[in-house]
Amino acid sequence: MSFFIDVIVPLPLEQRFTYSVTDEEHERLQIGMRVAVPFGKRKVYTSIVAKIHSTPPVRYEAKPVEELLDESPTVTAYQLKLWKWIADYYLCTEGEILKSALPSALLIESETVIEPHPDYDINTIDEDKHLNDSEYLILQALQKQSLLKISEITLILDRKTIFPVINAMAEKGLILINQELNKQYKPKLQKYIKLSDHYSSETELPGLLESLERANKQKEALLKLFSLKAQTKKPISLKVLKEEAGVSDSVIKSLVDKSIFEEYHIKKDRIQYDGDSSSHQINLNDYQTEALEDIKNGFNKHPVCLLQGVTSSGKTEVYIKLIEKVIREGKQTLYLLPEIALTTQLIQRLQDYFGDQVLVYHSKYSVNERVEVYRHVLNGTKGKIVIGARSSIFLPFQDLGLIVVDESHESSFKQFDPAPRYHARDTAIVLASFFKAKTLLGTATPSVESFHNVKQDKYAFAQLTRRYGNVIPPKIELVDLKDQQRKQKMTGHFSETLLNAIKETLKQGQQVILFQNRRGFSPILECNTCGHAPQCPNCDVSLTYHKHNNTLRCHYCGYHIAMQTKCMACGSNDVTTKGFGTEQIETELHAMFEDKVIKRMDLDTTRGKYAYEKIISAFENREIDILVGTQMLTKGLDFRHVKLVGVMNADSLLNFPDFRAHERSFQLLVQVAGRAGRTEEQGQVLIQTYNPYHRILQQVTTNSYDEMFKEQLDERRHFKYPPLFRMIKITFKSRDLNKMNEGSDWLALYYRQIFTTNVLGPEFPAISRIRNQYHKNILIKIPHDQSLAKTKAYVKAGVDKFKSIAQFRSIKVVVNVDPY
Ligand code: ADP
Ligand code: ZN
Ligand code: ZN
């Protein structure tokens, strides 16, 4: 009998492909193993064995596999089951999922690139007795050429089957595979300088200065340290001291060598920061204990529980207790967080408690580190707790007991591009169900759909209504901008109320956070004569003015030109900027608070490798007085000394063209507000708006989640939106506008013949052209009594038919299930 295998190839192809295997290979084969298979003319791909059988394919002759790459499965049966579910639910292919699910180093193909491992000294290969011939030849080639493609190695070794050689070399630590640009991620500790303990008093100064008679620079540095110390009570960083004293590293180093200065680090973990010695033990307060009991009882009836806990109520501590129980039962836990909330703060907190049981799976980690975590989870060798972002639902769990989805309202759990367009929260619930495990959704501001599930008795519910340690919730007030403008009380974009509050807070030595959801200086440059605003030539948007480099930029494609002083349409000199972004706020602040440290946190200032961490730790260490930023500020950060949070303009949030705009505004404002006053003193939140009577803003100030929920749900019912209706969005993209119009009309008509109602569009989205591609959407709304599976089958049939029409071939079609 001859044997065959069906494999999943990492390409966006509908079917699995069948290859033949020899009897000897058949004996070693198991489902979930990686095999190298030839594909197309000359390509070889790493694929996953999904089925072993003895039925030859009907339509083509099965090619033999090139080689087996594993001794035991790399992909588990649970993973294959999850991939199948995702492919069916989100209407994508298993190949697309495979590409997202496995670290790329496990998926070598002909185009894969390798490089020498930085820890292996490639100059010693002649002495290295552990190398076999193939390894020696490859490393020799890498000496001359730092990168090699697998296809090039095929020529060097003059044999076809080389994937196992490459895999083995990676495992031995000789080479790196598919290393991306993001190298190892290690948060850096900032260096601080202080006077050594035995010189700590002023009386020592004259003697010290004398001893530095012939070292002028060192003397200067010493004097500077004294004056800085007198001015501020804060720690003095090496960087500041160098700048202020105008000296180099070596000057400071000499002083350290002489034991006059001492270098030290500030540990950023706030549990130790508090000097709390019992940090490794957690005693829940009564509210937390009750919430924990409610969760446990809830889990007896429901596999999913929603924990609604106000910001700073100590949800993490409740998670930790739950996780502890799961660990004791010998099971694994997955702790999911939005990428940006995956901070060193939180990781440190869990590591302090669980030690090396904690594994972190993070896109900032290198490919090799991700492979390591993957293997640990697969083999159960280390770490029962995985903390990670969205994609960690793809790890090869063996015995999952619990999934915690923290900040579960966050929209970034949904992947928009590329496929698979999955929602990690919803997929996590399905994954947990395979193991009969529980899922806990935690947040201060539940999404409308999660809370709806509680109301429908699909999820259990628990609550934490008090901040931990009797910290009082911040006082939230609205500032009427219209009124302030009429009374001429505005300075730039600051109302008198906000400005006074900032001054007062700074006087008390506390910190301020200001939130503005637009980056750049101002969104639009407009001509007062003809009304023209410079547009991006590639996208359907106006260019944004960036002051620091005096450019006009497109935030969608990166197009930029120099700032214009004359109107490009009519030549008039009368051009003004409209609207405002974080950069403008920062500029205004600098003018008003010259002696204060003001920093900005948005996409533009956090591009560098450690830029984000640097700002955070500088803020924690109180080197920054005012931090201006976009939504980045709202995510899971816990700063001790923030007394005031200001929202520069709430209206731009509320006016967003999206059915969830109001829900999102509520969540965002409550989360931003939660950054204020996390210690004994009550924090203050000021929200500037032109619409102080807007329902959502009223609900934010009175903390009326339930009311917000009820009103939003009524609206969703009325306008047929989730969670009362499901949605599938079909997006068309093409450079040819006419063709796209024609194609999208065709498919809309096709769907209208099937689903008589609830087919909307095709319509242009708010931004109808991006990177020279026109976009149009069809929206299909699905009532709850309509079969989801059948609807999807029809949607898919329509797309397949569309793709088979020759004249539409240049139009890209993207199907997005639950596109929100
Ligand atoms: P949330 O995630 O709900 O916003 P956190 O878990 O960050 O709140 O808790 C807020 C603060 O209170 C943290 O500094 C945390 O260390 C502290 N805290 C909460 N619960 C406890 C506890 N049971 N024992 C000691 N500290 C706690
Ligand atoms: Zn003009
Ligand atoms: Zn553009």
Q: Separation of 533 CA from ligand 2 center, angstroms?
A: 8
Q: How much is the pLDDT for 153?
A: 87
Percentage of the residues of the chain whose pLDDT score is greater than 90: 54
Residues pairing with 440 in the sheet: 305, 404
Residues 24 and 66: beta-carbon distance below 8 Å: no
How far apart, in Å, are the Cα atoms of 261 and each of 218, 226, 247, 248, 562?
Answer: 10, 12, 14, 14, 47
Tens digit of each residue's pLDDT (9 = 90 or more) over 25-61: 999 999 999 999 999 877 889 999 999 999 999 989 9
Confidence of residue 532 (pLDDT cuts 50, 70, 90): confident
The set of protein residues with a Cβ atom below 6 angstroms from ligand 1 is: 270, 282-285, 288, 309, 311-317, 468, 638
- Report DSSP state, residue 661: H
Mutational pocket test of ligand 1: of 292, 468, 472, 639, the residue with most ligand atoms within 8 Å of the beta carbon:
468
Tell me which amino acid residue 300 is.
N
Q: Which ligand is nearest to the CA of 553?
A: 3
Consecutive H or E run containing 819 = none
Q: Which ligand is nearest to the CA of 346?
A: 1
CATH 3.30.70.600 in the chain is located at: 725-817
pLDDT at residue 211 tops 90? no
Q: Which ligand is nearest to the CA of 273?
A: 1
Percentage of the residues of the chain whose pLDDT score is greater than 70: 94
**Ligand 1: residue whose CA is nearest its atom 2:** 315
Q: How much is the pLDDT for 190?
A: 65
How far apart are alpha carbons 499 and 353 in whole angstroms?
42
**Ligand 1: residue whose CA is nearest its atom 20:** 314
Tens digit of each residue's pLDDT (9 = 90 or more) over 301-315: 999 999 999 988 999
Ligand 1 atom with least separation from CA of 349? 16
> Helix, strand or coil for residue 744?
helix
Q: How much is the pLDDT for 145?
A: 82
Contacts of 302 (CB under 8 A, 6+ apart): 458, 459, 460
Tell the CATH superfamily of the 725-817 domain: Ribosomal protein S10 (3.30.70.600)
Residues 123 and 116: beta-carbon distance below 8 Å: no
Q: Separation of 531 CA from ligand 2 center, angstroms?
A: 6
Q: Separation of 539 CA from ligand 2 center, angstroms?
A: 21
Q: Which ligand is nearest to the CA of 543?
A: 3
Q: How much is the pLDDT for 749?
A: 96
Q: How much is the pLDDT for 637?
A: 66
530 is in an annotated binding site: yes
92 is in an annotated binding site: no
Q: Which of 514, 513, 466 is nearest to 639 (CA)?
A: 513
Label residue 155 exposed, middle or buried (CB < 10 Å: 0-12, 13-18, 19+): exposed
Q: How much is the pLDDT for 277?
A: 33
Q: How much is the pLDDT for 181?
A: 39
Q: Separation of 574 CA from ligand 2 center, angstroms?
A: 8
Average pLDDT over residues 593-614: 83
Q: Separation of 522 CA from ligand 2 center, angstroms?
A: 18
Q: Which ligand is nearest to the CA of 559?
A: 3
Tens digit of each residue's pLDDT (9 = 90 or more) over 375-389: 999 998 888 999 999
Ligand 1 atom with least separation from CA of 285? 23
Higher pLDDT, 628 or 366: 628
Q: How much is the pLDDT for 179?
A: 59
Ligand 1 atom with least separation from CA of 270? 14
Confidence of residue 480 (pLDDT cuts 50, 70, 90): very high
Q: Separation of 567 CA from ligand 2 center, angstroms?
A: 5
Q: Which of 262, 292, 291, 267 is nearest to 279 (CA)?
A: 267
Tens digit of each residue's pLDDT (9 = 90 or more) over 663-705: 999 999 999 888 887 776 789 999 999 999 999 999 999 999 9
Tell the CATH superfamily of the 475-518+586-714 domain: P-loop containing nucleotide triphosphate hydrolases (3.40.50.300)
Q: Which of 442, 518, 507, 505 is nearest to 475 (CA)?
A: 505
Q: How much is the pLDDT for 214?
A: 82
pLDDT at residue 820 tops 60? yes
Q: Separation of 566 CA from ligand 2 center, angstroms?
A: 8
**Residues that place a CB less than 5 A from ion ligand 2:** 527, 529-530, 532, 567, 569-570, 572
Q: Which of 252-266, 400-414, 518-532, 666-680 has the lowest mean pLDDT?
A: 518-532
Ligand 1 atom with least separation from CA of 311? 4
Compute the Cα dihedral for 738, 739, 743, 749 and give only its sign: positive
Q: Which tokens go with 501?
A: 């509050």
pLDDT at residue 187 tops 60? no
Helical spans, DSSP H, in 67-193: 77-89, 94-101, 133-144, 150-157, 163-171
**Ligand 1: residue whose CA is nearest its atom 15:** 314
Tens digit of each residue's pLDDT (9 = 90 or more) over 99-120: 999 988 888 887 888 888 888 8
Q: How much is the pLDDT for 521?
A: 64
554 is in an annotated binding site: yes
Q: How much is the pLDDT for 96?
A: 96
pLDDT at residue 321 tops 50? yes
Q: What is the CATH code of the structural domain delimited by 3-109?
A: 3.40.1440.60
Q: Separation of 318 CA from ligand 1 center, angstroms?
A: 9
Q: How much is the pLDDT for 183?
A: 37
**Ligand 1: residue whose CA is nearest its atom 4:** 312
Q: How much is the pLDDT for 636?
A: 54
305 is in an annotated binding site: no
Q: Separation of 572 CA from ligand 2 center, angstroms?
A: 5
Q: Which of 552-566, 601-615, 641-655 has the lowest mean pLDDT?
A: 601-615
Residues in the chain: 820
CATH 3.40.1440.60 in the chain is located at: 3-109
How far apart are alpha carbons 455 and 723 in whole angstroms?
12
**Ligand 1: residue whose CA is nearest its atom 6:** 314
Residues 516 and 603: beta-carbon distance below 8 Å: no
The answer to whether domain 286-465 has CATH 3.40.50.300 is yes
Compute the Cα dihedral for 216, 222, 223, 225 and give only its sign: positive
570 is in an annotated binding site: yes
Mutational pocket test of ligand 1: of 271, 274, 312, the residue with most ligand atoms within 8 Å of the beta carbon:
312
Label residue 318 exposed, middle or buried (CB < 10 Å: 0-12, 13-18, 19+): buried
CATH 3.40.50.300 in the chain is located at: 286-465, 475-518+586-714
pLDDT at residue 520 tops 80? no
